[in-house]
Amino acid sequence: MTTEELAEAEEWASMPFDTEELALILGLRPEQLRLALDDPDNALGNAVKRGRLLAKAELFKKIKTLSNQGSGPAQLMLKNLLARVEL
């Protein structure tokens, strides 16, 4: 895949699509995308993983900002998120 195609895959992967939906958007069969995701050296798989991770990071950042501004629901979300990850 070209650099542009990988960037596009990363961008689509940052949206809340499951693997099957994402594969259809990218013009792949779902099993092709699953194989790419299972291969740590596959550029497409890594672009998709990066897109999904960056989307999560952006969401966590927004929750943290709202939490720091005193939002009770955001503070609870952040507490629950932090409990799930080992720091």
Digit-coded pLDDT (tens) for 21-76: 999 999 999 999 999 999 999 999 999 999 999 999 999 999 999 999 999 999 99
pLDDT the model gives residue 87: 60
pLDDT the model gives residue 85: 83
Q: Which one is predicted more confidently, 31 or 86?
A: 31
| pLDDT of residue 86 exceeding 80 | no
Comparing CA positions, the residue from 84, 53, 79 lying closest to residue 64 is: 79
Output the pTM of the full model.
Answer: 0.86
- How far is CA 49 from each of CA 27, 77, 78, rounded to the nearest angstrom? 17, 23, 22
Domain parsing of the chain, residue ranges: 3-84
The H-or-E segment that residue 29 falls in is none
